[in-house]
Homo-oligomer: A and B are copies of this chain.
Amino acid sequence: MKCLNRFSRVISTLAIALVALAASAQTFAQTDPLPSWNDGAAKQAIIEFVQATTDQSSPKFVPQEARIATFDQDGTLWVEHPMYSQVMYCLERVPAVVRKKPELRNVEPFKTVMSGNLEAMAKLTMRDLFKILAATLTGMSVEEYRTEVKAWLETAKHPRWKRPYTELVYQPMLEVMEYLRANGYKTYIVTGGGQDFVRVYSEQVYGIPPEQVVGTAGGTKFGYDKNGKPFLTKEPKLLINDNNAGKPEGIHLMIGRRPYAAFGNSIGDKQMLEYTRAGDGTRLAMLVMHDDAKREYAYGPAQGLPNTKVGTFTQALYDEAKKQGWIIISMKNDWKHVFPFESP
C-alpha cells in the first residue's frame, strides 16, 4: 500500500511535469513576438539581435542595464504625411493665439495662416515657420501647454484616415518596442519633434514614459505666480535641436549611454544610426522605408519619387545603409498590417 501510494505520487508528479513541459513548449511555438511582421530579413534581424544580446552564453550578450534602444518618431513610429502632426498643431493653434493677441492678425506669417489659403501657406519659409512655432509653443506654463496639446490630440484628425493621429501608429513597430522591453531593453523615443509635445502621449501610445522621450527642446524659466507658487514657463530658446548630429548629442545629454539598437527613416536619423553602430559588440540599425502607397505612402529612392519635405529618405541614405549593413524595413513587404485598427 505504501509502495503503491509512493508510486502513484511519483506518477502524478511526472504527469504534472510533463503537462507543464508540453504547455510551455506549445506556448513557445505559438508565441510569435512580431505577429504583424512577414518572415524576411528584417524580422529575422530583430529576433536574432534580441536572442544574441540576451543569451548569457552568447559572445554578443549585453548586460541588462546597458540595453538601450532608440526610435525616431515621425515616419518611424507614426505617419508623417502630409505634414508632421506637431506642425499641424501649431498651424491650428494660430487662431487661438491671434484671439489673445489681436495685433498679430495683420502681421505675417499669421495673416497668411488666418486666411486659410493653403496655397499661400505652402509658400511659408522656415523663418515664418519658426515665428509660428515660437508663438504657439512658448510663453505659457508647461502645464498649460500639456493641457492644450492633450485637447488638440483628442479632436484633431488625419485628413486621409479621419482618425486621431495617435491611432496612426505602426503596429509592427509597437510590437518591436514591446518585444525589446520584454527582453530587458529600455526603449526611448529620439525625435526631431518637440520633446514636450511627444511626452504628452508617449506613455499612452507607445508605453514610453516622458523621461524616455528625447526631442527638440526649448528652455524653460522658473518663476513664481502672484500667490508665490512656483511654475515653469516655456521659453523661445532652443536647447536641443534633436535632428542629424543633434540626435547622438541629445542621446549623450539625456541618456548618457550609446544605444544597442536604433530605428529611423530619414537623413535626420543618419548620425544616430552611425553612432549606434560605432559601439562595441553587436548593434542593430534599421530604417523604415515608405514604399506602400496603398496602405500608407510611398516616397524615397525605392519609388524613384522626388523627396518630400518630410522624412527625406534620400538615395545617399539608401546607399549608406547598404554599405554599412543597416537593415531596411520595407513597409510593403515586411509588414502584414500597418495600423493597429487593421490587425485581425
A188 nearest CB across to chain B (Å) = 9
Known contacts A2-B1, A231-B278, A249-B232; A255/B222 CB under 8 A: no
Please report the C-alpha to C-alpha distance between residue A88 and residue B274 in the assembled complex, in whole angstroms. Answer: 36
Known contacts A1-B2, A271-B230, A278-B231; A210/B255 CB under 8 A: yes
Residues of the B chain whose Cβ atoms lie less than 8 Å from the Cβ of A213: 256
A266 CB-CB contact with B under 8 Å: no
Please report the C-alpha to C-alpha distance between residue A253 and residue B230 in the assembled complex, in whole angstroms. Answer: 16
A209 CB-CB contact with B under 8 Å: yes
Residue contact B256 to A210, C-beta cutoff 8 Å: yes
Residues of the B chain whose Cβ atoms lie less than 8 Å from the Cβ of A1: 1-2
Q: Which of B211, B219, B230, B278 interacts with A229 by CB under 8 Å?
A: B278
A142 CB-CB contact with B under 8 Å: yes
Interface size band for A: 35 or more
Q: How many copies make up the complex?
A: 2
The residue on B at minimum CB distance from A218 is: B253
A48 CB-CB contact with B under 8 Å: no
Residues of the B chain whose Cβ atoms lie less than 8 Å from the Cβ of A58: none
The residue on B at minimum CB distance from A203 is: B65
Known contacts A2-B5, A245-B222; A253/B210 CB under 8 A: no
7 extra interface residue pairs, beta carbon distance < 8 Å, beyond A65-B209, A210-B257, A219-B253? A1-B1, A68-B211, A196-B256, A210-B255, A211-B256, A221-B245, A230-B275
Q: A: which residues have CB within 8 A of B?
A: 1-2, 5, 65, 68, 142, 186, 195-196, 199, 203, 209-211, 213, 217, 219-222, 229-232, 239-240, 245-246, 248-249, 252-257, 271, 274-275, 278
